[in-house]
Structure 1
Amino acid sequence: MMVLLPLLSLLLLEWALIGSCSEKGGNDEQPSTYSDTYYHGPWIAGRPGRDGRDGRDGAKGEKGDPGEVLNGMQGCPANVGHSGSPGPQGPPGIKGMKGEPGGMHSSLIEERLNMTSYLTARLLKLSKALTFYGNMVHLGEKFYVTTGQSFNFFMINKTCQEMGGAVATPRNKEENAAIMKLVVRHNTHAFLALREGIIGKFYYLDGSPLKYTNWYSGRPDGQGQENCVEMYTDGTWNDRDCSYYRLGICEF
């Protein structure tokens, strides 16, 4: 009995040390094997004890300083290569299908018809007004119009052209009579679109020879000094200097 007391005391001491290590060990790893220790004495060594439990995690450490990123040196720019030669032209594509024929939108057609009707009505009113005041005579597809003012032949010709017409040109008896109405209305003489070429021979302004004449008896008699033609109130013609002022009549 006296021999067992020291043995029991060592066992108790060993268990006490193992318990102490399990409480203080923290993150210390325990060896998986136990080395037998032999003591000199009258006792027998006990078996190795069990591994102790893992300790609790320690406190979180302070955040370290950020690391430095080293940027490399910029390289030399690359040389731009020359443009290559254009490649050969490709084959023509397949011909597309023929599209549907286009057509005018109905609203556009209606708009144009309305505009045509409006212009026709305005032209009719204008024609009636000009006829009433004796400034226009209508014959077939031609209109003979005057402002009642007198100018030299060159100004009359320019004005008629700017308006899209021409100086009144009688090419037959009917047209001569229509122009005469305006001459009688304003009781004056009017220039016609005739000019002298060869002395004593007159032509239309486009250079073509006259197909109709109505000269007053003994006219022309200017012998190259009177290159224009005027109409008297009886409808007959007389050669006259172009610089004189006469009634201007345009035909459209």
Structure 2
Amino acid sequence: MRSYSSYVLIAVATLLVTCHALHKCPGIPGIPGLPGRDGLKGQIHLPGLLGPPGSLIGRPGRHGLPWLQGLPDSLDTERHDVLVNLKHRLSRLEGVLALNGKIREVGDKILASNGREVDFASALQSCEEAGGTIATPKNEEENKAILGIVKQYNRYAYLGIKEGQTSGQFMYINGTPLNYTKWHQYEPNGKGMEKCVEMYTDGSWNDKKCNVNRLTICEF
């Protein structure tokens, strides 16, 4: 592996070649040559340091140290056009999926189901592999949106809620306390034996054993 001093020497040599070709070599005066027949006065100017090896040559970066090189304007424009096009295509795709009942949007969340009934661990894995997590209602509006998918498939579904170490104390799967609940009458009543939570077809919740197969609904 090259040392830092090696990179500095390479950077200096590279810039020397470039700036002499352009006849622009700002820096500090060189060291005078030794006296003698062929002694020459030092007129070589050392250049300033380059950016990290492999940095692009372009206009200076908008942020950071002055020697960092930014992207050319043409690349900035091209990147902007690509992002705008992707945003447009994603918006159209969301519209098609929503129209066909494949997804539901609620607030800043998108809900979707693959129609499969599996245990809690498998449902969570499927959602995470797709880039989301198990649907977790945090208010009445989100609960109704999840209920819409439950009714569509007419099957109970797992929610992203589990029982903690204390019996009867349920929380979100990230460990934070619940700020909204919709328990069915007399629920939860598993007394530490039913760690997961399912949604009934009326939108109410019930604690359930995690090895039972239930509908997978993910949120993104």
Range of TM-score over shorter length: 0.5 to 0.7
Q: Which residue of 71, 74, 91 corresponds with 1:124?
A: 91
> Which letter maps to 2:168?
G
1:168·1:250 contact (CA, 8 Å) conserved in 2?
yes
Instruction: Give the aligned partner of residue 181 of structure 1.
Output: 148
User: How much does 1:157 deviate?
Assistant: 0.7
Query: Structure 1, residues 143-197: CA drift from partner, whole Å, max 9, x if none?
Result: 1111122211101111111222111111111111121111111111110011112
Instruction: Give the aligned partner of residue 62 of structure 1.
Output: none
Say if 2:216 is the partner of 1:248: yes
Instruction: Give the aligned partner of residue 135 of structure 2.
Output: 168
Instruction: Give the aligned partner of residue 211 of structure 1.
Output: 179
Instruction: Give the aligned partner of residue 139 of structure 1.
Output: 106
> Which letter maps to 1:122?
R
Q: Which sections of structure 1, spanning at least 5 residues, go unmatched? A: 1-92
1:222·1:240 contact (CA, 8 Å) conserved in 2?
yes
Instruction: Give the aligned partner of residue 73 of structure 2.
Output: 106
Instruction: Give the aligned partner of residue 44 of structure 1.
Output: none
Say if 2:192 is the partner of 1:233: no
Q: How far apart, in 2, do the equivalents of 1:96 and 1:164 lie?
A: 48
> Which letter maps to 2:113?
T
Q: How far apart, in 2, do the equivalents of 1:110 and 1:244 lie?
A: 52
Q: How far apart, in 2, do the equivalents of 1:193 and 1:120 lie?
A: 29
User: How much does 1:114 deviate?
Assistant: 2.6
Instruction: Give the aligned partner of residue 124 of structure 2.
Output: 157
Q: SS in structure 1 opposite 2:175?
A: coil
Q: How far apart, in 2, do the equivalents of 1:240 and 1:199 lie?
A: 13
- Name the stretch that deviates more: 116-125 or 210-219: 116-125
Query: Structure 1, residues 18-47: CA drift from partner, whole Å, max 9, x if none?
Result: xxxxxxxxxxxxxxxxxxxxxxxxxxxxxx
Query: Structure 1, residues 44-69: CA drift from partner, whole Å, max 9, x if none?
Result: xxxxxxxxxxxxxxxxxxxxxxxxxx
Say if 2:163 is the partner of 1:196: yes
Q: How far apart, in 1, do the equivalents of 2:90 and 2:117 lie?
A: 25
Number of equivalent positions:
160
Q: SS in structure 2 opposite 1:226?
A: coil
Instruction: Give the aligned partner of residue 64 of structure 2.
Output: none
**Runs of 4+ deviating beyond 4 Å:** 93-100
Q: How far apart, in 2, do the equivalents of 1:186 and 1:242 lie?
A: 20
User: How much does 1:230 deviate?
Assistant: 0.5
Instruction: Give the aligned partner of residue 222 of structure 1.
Output: 190
Q: How far apart, in 2, do the equivalents of 1:188 and 1:129 lie?
A: 24
> Which letter maps to 2:108?
E
Q: TM-score of the superposition, structure 2-length normalised?
A: 0.66
Q: TM-score of the superposition, structure 1-length normalised?
A: 0.58
Query: Structure 1, residues 99-132: CA drift from partner, whole Å, max 9, x if none?
Result: 8723432332232223212322221222122212
User: How much does 1:141 deviate?
Assistant: 1.6
Q: Which sections of structure 2, spanning at least 5 residues, go unmatched? A: 1-26, 29-45, 51-58, 62-69
1:135·1:182 contact (CA, 8 Å) conserved in 2?
no
